Structure 1
Amino acid sequence: MTADDALVLGLDVGGTASRAVVVTLDGRLAGHGRAGGGNPASRPPEVAAASVATAIRIALSTADPGAVRAGVLGVAGFTRMAEPRVADSFEHAWRGAGLRCPMSVVADLSVVYVAATPAPSGTVLVAGTGAVAGRVDDRMLTRIAGGLGWLLGDEGSGFWLGRAAAREVARALSAGQSLGLLGRLVTRRLLGDEPPTEPARALVAEVYRRRPAELAALAPLVSEAAAAGDPTARAIVRDAVRWLTGTLAEVRDDAARTPIVLGGSVLTSTGPIQNAVRRTLARRWNAPVLVTTTAAVGAAWLAARTVTDLDEQEAAALHDRLRVATAAIE
C-alpha cells in the first residue's frame, strides 16, 4: 500500500448517533456514515457496538477496509470501554467491518475539541443527550466536570431539556391549565394530533414507556417555543444556560484566553440556547468560541497523526483541509 492509498477512520460515538468519516492522509474525504447511538453507558454493549459497526460499514462502502491504517473512536461513556464485555463487543464490530488496524478509544470531549481547532490547549463544552465539560492541555483531557448521566446530572443537556419540558406540561395538564406553545408542541409530539380523553395520564404513561434518553428528542421543541416567546420554554432555556456555562467554568481558569469549543446537538443548533451560551461565555472570557459540527473529523485527524510524522504547522494545514473536505457532512 502506498501513502496515497492509505486511509484513516474517525468516529464520534454518542448517545443518539454514531458518525464515521474515512479520509486520506492528505485530507480528502473518502466516505462517511451515520447510525444509531453507540454509547455503551446508555445501551447494551452489543447494541452500541452494532450501531458503530453500521456507521463504519456505510463509511467504507466505497473504500477498502484494508487500506485503513488507523482508527480513533471518540466515545461518550468511554470509561465503560475498559469492561471486558464492552471491549469485546466493540472489537468484534471492528473486525467484522473488515478492519485490521489498531482501534484507539478516547473521550468524546477530546474529538469534539480537536475537530474545531488544532490548538493544543483549551476547554470544551458538550451538550447533546448528556452534558459535560473538559479542560484540554497539550491535547490531553486533564479535567472533567459534569457527565454524571441522566440520573445524577447532565444539567442543560438534551435529556434535561426534554424532561423539563415533559414535566412542566404534565403538571399543567394535571392542574387542568390551558397549554402554551411548548405544551402544545410536546403533547402533539408525544400523543399525536388527536388528544386523548385523559391527556395528563396518557402523557405520563407515554413518557415512562420510553427510554430516558429518548426525552432528548423534545429538546428542539423547547428551543422552538422559547424563540417564539413561550414563557415556560424561556425559563427552561435560562436554567439550561446557567447550568451549562457553570459547568464549563468548573474546568476553565478565569484568566484563560485559550479557545472554547462547543459541541453536541444542543449547542451546535442555532437558536436561543446556543446564542445565550455564546453571549455568556464572551462576556466572561475574552477568547474565541468555536462550534464543532462534525466531531468525527477530530477523531480522523488524531488517527492521521498517529501514522504520519507531521510538525505542528503541517498538522494545522491538514486540519484545515479536513474541515473544508467534510463541511457538508451533517
Structure 2
Amino acid sequence: MRVLVGADIGGTKLAIRVAAPDGAIRADVEIPSTGWEAAPVERAARWLLDRVNSVLPAGDEIAALGVGAQGCDTQEHCARLAAAFESSGTAATVVNDAALLVPAAGLASGIGVIAGTGSIAVGAAADGTVLFAGGWGWVLGDEGSAPAIVREATKAALAAYDAGQPDDGLLSQLLAHYGAAEPPGLARAVNDLPTSGSWGPAAPAVFTAAAAGSALALAVVDDAADHLCTLVTRLRARGAAGSTVVVAGSVVIGQPLLADRLRDRLGAAHPDLDLRLLDVPPVAGAVALARAGHQAAGTRATANHL
C-alpha cells in the first residue's frame, strides 16, 4: 500500500505516523531522536528515512512524507532538506517542528508556539513567507523551554542566597532535585553538566515551588510567559497571519500554570487572538502536510496529461 508518512523530530523524541490514503493509522510510534542533526541535509534525510523504513508496515511504500524538524529554522534550510529527500526518491514537505501545530489543529493559518525542550514560534505572512522567532538554543535563549526555566530559576535562587534572603521554597526544590546539600553543590551540579538533558528534567521542581507559594519561582514562570508572548508579538509585527495561536510542547502542555500565564498575556497584548492548546500529537500536522503534498503532486500530474 502507498501510504502517507508524518514525522515530528523534536529535541528528545521522534514521532512517526503512517496513514493509509483513507486516513486510517497503520503505525504510530515514538523513539528517541538521539543523533538528529538538521545539517548536513543529506545525512539528515538518510537518518530519518532509516528510521521511517524501520517502522513501515510490511508491504507499505511511502507515497509522500511530511516532516517537522527541530533545527530547520529557515525556509531555505527546509527547502534544502526537502530536496535531499527528493534525491533519495521520496517526495517530501519539510517545515520546522513548530509549523506542524497549525495544520495539526486543522487550521489553514495561525501561529505555532512550542515550549518544551526548546522554544520557538513559527507563522506565515499572507504571501506564504515563513516567519520564525526564537529557537536560538538554551544557551542563548529558548525562554519558556524546560532548560531555560531551570537556568533562570537556578540563577534566581542563588542570587537570593547571595543576598542573604531566606529560602522561599525554590532553592530547596532545586537542591532536592539535584541531590545537593548546599547552594555550592547546586551550582556545581548545574555547571558541571550544562546540557538540556541535565537541566530540563528539573523544570517540574520550579513549578512545584511556584504552586507552594515561592515568589521567586512564580516570577520565573511569569518571565517565561512574557517571553513566549513576545515571540508572538514579533511575528505579528512582521506580518504573521491568522487569528489563533496554537501551543504545544511538554512544558506548556504539562504545566497549566505556564499555559494560564501565557493566555493572560496574549489576551492583554493581542485581544483578537485565540489561544489553543494542541490536543492531538503534532505529528498529525506532519501527516496533513504529506497529504497536501501528495494531492498537489496528483493535481500537477493530471494537468500535465491534459
Matched, 1:273 2:258: yes
| Distance change in 2, residues 1:67/1:150 (3 Å) | same
Moved more, 217-226 or 293-302: 217-226
1:9 corresponds to: 5
- Alpha-carbon shift at residue 6 of structure 1 (Å): 2.6
Quote the RMSD (CA, aligned, Å).
3.7
Matched, 1:233 2:220: no
Give the paired residue count. Answer: 288
Distance 1:81 1:201 in 2: 44
Moved more, 234-243 or 281-290: 281-290
8 Å CA contact retained: 2:146, 2:251:
yes
Distance 1:78 1:259 in 2: 23
Distance 1:45 1:255 in 2: 27
In structure 1, the gaps of 5 or more residues are 311-330
Distance 1:32 1:52 in 2: 15
The Cα offsets for residues 184-238 of structure 1, whole Å up to 9 and x where unpaired, read as 22222212xxx54xx3332222212324322122222222322232211111011
8 Å CA contact retained: 1:33, 1:56:
no
**TM-score in terms of structure 2 length:** 0.78
Matched, 1:157 2:145: yes
Q: 2:203 aligns with which of 201, 206, 219?
A: 219
| Distance change in 2, residues 1:234/1:59 (3 Å) | farther
In structure 2, the gaps of 5 or more residues are 298-306
Which runs of structure 2 are paired with 1:1-330 in the superposition (5 Å)? 5-37=1-33, 40=37, 56=52, 59-60=55-56, 63-64=57-58, 66-79=60-73, 101-119=90-108, 121-137=109-125, 140=128, 142-171=130-159, 178-191=166-179, 195-196=180-181, 199-214=182-197, 215-252=199-236, 258-283=243-268, 284-292=270-278, 293-308=280-295
8 Å CA contact retained: 1:32, 1:58:
no
Identity among equivalent positions (%) equals: 27
- Alpha-carbon shift at residue 40 of structure 1 (Å): 2.0
| Distance change in 2, residues 1:45/1:117 (3 Å) | same
Distance 1:35 1:112 in 2: 20
8 Å CA contact retained: 1:257, 1:285:
no
- Alpha-carbon shift at residue 158 of structure 1 (Å): 1.9
Structure 2 SS opposite 1:27: coil
**TM-score in terms of structure 1 length:** 0.73
Distance 2:55 2:193 in 1: 30
| Distance change in 2, residues 1:296/1:257 (3 Å) | closer
Distance 2:296 2:40 in 1: 38
| Distance change in 2, residues 1:226/1:44 (3 Å) | farther
Moved more, 225-234 or 256-265: 256-265
1:320 corresponds to: none
- Alpha-carbon shift at residue 48 of structure 1 (Å): 8.0
1:314 corresponds to: none
Give the aligned residue type for 1:222: V
Structure 1 SS opposite 2:63: strand
Distance 2:288 2:187 in 1: 45
8 Å CA contact retained: 1:35, 1:54:
no
8 Å CA contact retained: 1:40, 1:81:
no
The Cα offsets for residues 80-127 of structure 1, whole Å up to 9 and x where unpaired, read as 9989xx97xx97xxx8xxxx63344221122122111332x2222222
The Cα offsets for residues 38-77 of structure 1, whole Å up to 9 and x where unpaired, read as 5526x999998898578646743xx137422121221111
Give the aligned residue type for 2:71: G
Distance 2:186 2:95 in 1: 39
2:304 corresponds to: none
Give the aligned residue type for 2:196: A
Distance 1:260 1:53 in 2: 31
